[in-house]
Amino acid sequence: MYRYLFRLLRWTGLRFRQEPLLEFCEKAVQHLRQQKLPVAAPEQIIPMILAMEFGKQDPEKAEQRQAAAEASALADAIFKRCNPLKRFCMKYLLHLI
């Protein structure tokens, strides 16, 4: 889900440049708000990843499902804004077919 989120963010023009994850999360949320896209996915997934990495805590199944749903909603919103050629590429590369 983490890699999927970062791939989605690349489709909006935002790239991760080895910066601290919390700073990148804030930057991603601001970037998505400017583009009027759903912001819940990075707000939920990045802190979950940090908790897993540093706290060694696995998220609950409900949290995992919610994060997956938020990532899917972000993918759908990005997909709807793309032109037909980009849609095809997005389906092919992200396996949204």
pLDDT digits (tens, 9 = 90+) for 42-96: 888 888 888 888 877 788 889 889 999 999 899 889 888 888 888 888 888 777 5
Compute how many other C-beta atoms are within 10 angstroms of the C-beta atom of residue 36.
9
Residue 1 neighbours by CB under 8 Å, 6+ apart = 45, 64, 67, 68, 71
| Alpha carbon distance 76, 22 (integer Å) | 24
Per-residue pLDDT tens over the stretch 8-32 = 898 888 988 888 888 989 999 999 9
Q: How far apart are the first and last CA of the chain?
A: 17
The residue ranges of every structural domain in the chain are 2-94
